[in-house]
Amino acid sequence: MNFTLIIFNLFITYVMFASGVIRAEEFKLDYSSAKHALPPIETAGSKFFSSETGEQFFIKGIAYQPQYSQEDAISLGLPMSDTKYIDPLATPAICLRDIPHLAELGVNTIRVYAIDPTQSHDVCMEALMENGIYVLLDLSEPDASISRDSPSWDFGVYQRYKDVIDAMHQYPNVLGFFAGNEVTNDRTNTNASPFVKASIRDMKEHIKNMNYRAIPIGYSTNDDVETRENLAQFFSCGNDTADFYGINMYEWCGYSSFHNSGYDKRTQEFKNYPIPVFFSEFGCNLVRPRPFTEVEALYSKQMSSVWSGGLAYMYFEEENQYGVVEIDSKNRVVRLKDFEYLKDEFKRSEPSGITKSEYLRRLGLSPNAPTTKRECPSISVAWKAAEKLPERPEKSNCDCLTRSLPCLVSPFSDQSKYKEYFEYVCGQVDCSDIKADGENGEYGKYSGCTPDQKLALQISKLYFSLAEQNDICPVDDRHVYFNRDSKNGPNNDECASLIKSVKRSSRTRKSDDRVPSPIEDHTSSGSNIAPSVLLELAFVVLAGLIV
């Protein structure tokens, strides 16, 4: 199919979607027999290869995620929802408008940071496939990701990651998935990395259990001076390694050079790295328009023997001024000078690779040979990530909490409330069973439950410790409510045993029963400590005065 015909087909399809003649959910495709299907990309050692030809694959890509705004969502005719992002792969009005420009730019890969797994992606993925474009997808979204500040590998994020894989595995042009992006970004939060690595392990296991093709799963990091070496070692060590490693690299600005930018040092550091490594973002914008002179170096012999290409940041021009196109008020694409510079650099760059068979021959490996395990970095002042990872979240245990606890919690829109209430309740009861300590490798039995379930567990312990017989939970907030079904008792032996253990653990109150200042809740009046708790504290204070 020639380029003119591809553009014509995309235009007709775009018009039909924009006019409502056909809907995305009606546009179902069978990829098993598609003549234009791209061969899946696979990994072997430190390289990407075409599964069909065995030729080495280099990423020539760009980040592709429109910024969310309610105005844009309405103008595109998107249904109003609670999502805080626009999924460009589920919105033909966006992707079909942009794909001709992506094709002319010369990219073979795009990176999309958040998709909606409940929507159909057939139209956009098919159109990308027709234009030879693969997709790298982040598994997270703004409200479901591993937090660097209070990291955990909980069932909510676990389910989100699985949902994305289940929705996208069928497309042969899905190159891989990112399990995290800059979760550890400096020495103060290296303890978050074990949770990301656990997510990689569990998603690889999910893919295997579901008999999906072996889609690579990796991680994207920043290039922090203090953590770069330990991070790279951590995600490639032990039994549970990433399949690839991306670095968001912004050291080359304007008309820098291989040596002045530090690219020479980074290349030397990764020359023996055991998995594919590439620039998951690049494109310093201190000089505008960006000349993208780093592209020539990235695909040259001195770098292409180590690096598998990279993705420029980014397609859309927004407030941060990293785009190569603008979208005007009439939803038209306006190319910036950066577009032409990047297009020319991609066009001139033709990296020479190696075939998979020759690569394995040189390494003396068979296609299925086991890899040698690398040592993990030791704990130090600048690195506090344990080799021991949290277990896979257990849904059955967490569901027992929801069904059987006397006090339950509905989600807070203000995420800071969780921290405030945990600080209060864990000053009263032992919270070690929800502990998620990535530095020391200590993970409580319920550390994989959602924040709502974990908070409900601790509030229920406080309820039991006060020997309450009423229907009032010891935290006064509309998000905390009494579970009347709990009066009937657990509905199975497993849950009954769980509740007994919760009651036993609640009998030991913390010796330091400090009560912080009442936390104001903007949706309720008065103290957020229940009257029964205040009464108990009053007696304690009175007894102290008498003594």
CB contact set of 302 (below 8 Å; sequence gap of 6+): 258, 267
Q: What is the number of H-type helices and E-type strands within the chain?
A: 17, 16
Eight-state DSSP code of residue 19:
T
Does the active-site annotation cover 326?
no
Eight-state DSSP code of residue 380:
B
CA distance 303 to 113: 26
DSSP 3-state of 258: coil
DSSP 3-state of 181: strand
* Active-site annotation holder among 281, 317, 345, 468: 281
Does the active-site annotation cover 182?
yes
User: How many Cα neighbours within 13 Å face the side chain of 214?
Assistant: 8
Backbone angles phi, psi at 508, to 5 degrees: -95, 100
Concatenated DSSP letters of 29-93: --GGG-TTPPPPEEEETTEEEETTT--B--EEEEE--PPP-HHHHHHTTPPP-S-SS--GGG-HH
Other residues' Cβ atoms within 10 Å of the Cβ of residue 391: 14
* Active-site annotation holder among 55, 182, 439, 442: 182
Are the C-beta atoms of 410 and 418 separated by less than 8 Å?
Answer: no
CA distance 436 to 443: 5
Task: Indicate which residues carry an active-site annotation.
Answer: 182, 281
